[in-house]
Amino acid sequence: MLGTIVNTVAILAGSIVGLFLKGGISKRFDDAIMKALGLSVLYIGISGSLKSTDTLLLIISLIIGVIIGEAINLEKALNRLGEKIEARFKKLNKGGSIAEGFVSASLLFCIGSMAIVGAIQSGLEGNHEMLFVKSMLDGITSIIYASSMGIGVTFSAIAVLFYQGAITIAASFLGNVLTEVQITNIGAIGSVVIVALGLNLLQITKIKVANFLPALFIPMIYYIVQSLF
């Protein structure tokens, strides 16, 4: 759990710095930084997705995953959670939407190959190196996010703690069930989802990214079942 705890603290620290800078960055520069961030997220997603060695499983996982996500409407559930947080802490947020900041930051920090592969490596091998690198990136990103979206970004640290922590704990029980190639394929699916988030950040699309989250667990279930036969 060490890697996840460091990641959580980095996001909290970056968010606090960003809140102090809120309003200190002109809208022109703020928009430019957000566009640069969107392009960076898009690059990270594309580069990670190209590492997949099983394209068919990637496609099937995305299709099954989004069907499940749409059926239970994860996007709406996440937004409701964000709105509840917004209603409770609205007075602390000077401008911006707490729900938007919470949901956007949570998706950005939780989805992708670094979050998944890093958490699995942490649980399987006790290797926290990838999560330490992710902590640096997330800390910088949370400064930019919090400066434009407000205090909602701070609450995303809780989502990271529970999400990555759960994967780490689960991975610790899997032992050697998952191979390095299988872990890479799982991360590639997360990277495809983060491409969608990058497109949204660039305001090119309005994809319900959260509804794709179940796709991340389809290959994991497939590989575990496959190992039993």
Residue type, 208: K
Residue type, 7: N
64 band by pLDDT with thresholds 50, 70 and 90: very high
Question: What integer is the mean pLDDT of 191-196?
Answer: 86
Indicate whether 30 pLDDT > 80: no
Tell me the C-alpha distance between 121 and 44, whole Å. 19
Asked if 131 and 118 count as a contact pair (C-beta separation under 8 A), the reply is yes
At 4 the pLDDT is: 94
Average pLDDT along the chain: 83
pTM of the model as a whole: 0.72
At 70 the pLDDT is: 95
Indicate whether 179 pLDDT > 90: no
At 157 the pLDDT is: 93
Tell me the C-alpha distance between 226 and 221, whole Å. 8
**Number of neighbours of residue 84 by Cβ within 10 angstroms:** 13
88-102 burial: b if 16+ Cβ within 10 Å, else e: eeeeebeebbbbbbb
Question: What integer is the mean pLDDT of 21-50?
Answer: 79
Indicate whether 95 pLDDT > 60: no
Question: What integer is the mean pLDDT of 185-210?
Answer: 86
Question: What's the Cα-to-Cα distance from 26 to each of 21, 143, 147, rounded to whole Å?
Answer: 11, 15, 10
216 band by pLDDT with thresholds 50, 70 and 90: confident
Task: Report CA Rg, the chain.
Answer: 17
Tell me the C-alpha distance between 132 and 138, whole Å. 10
Indicate whether 51 pLDDT > 60: yes
At 66 the pLDDT is: 95
SS3 sequence, 153-222? HHHHHHHHHHHHHHHHHHHHHHCCCCCHHHHHHHHHHHHHHHHHHHHHHCCCCCCCHHHHHHHHCHHHHH
Closest CA to 193 of 222, 219, 213, 163: 213
At 1 the pLDDT is: 86
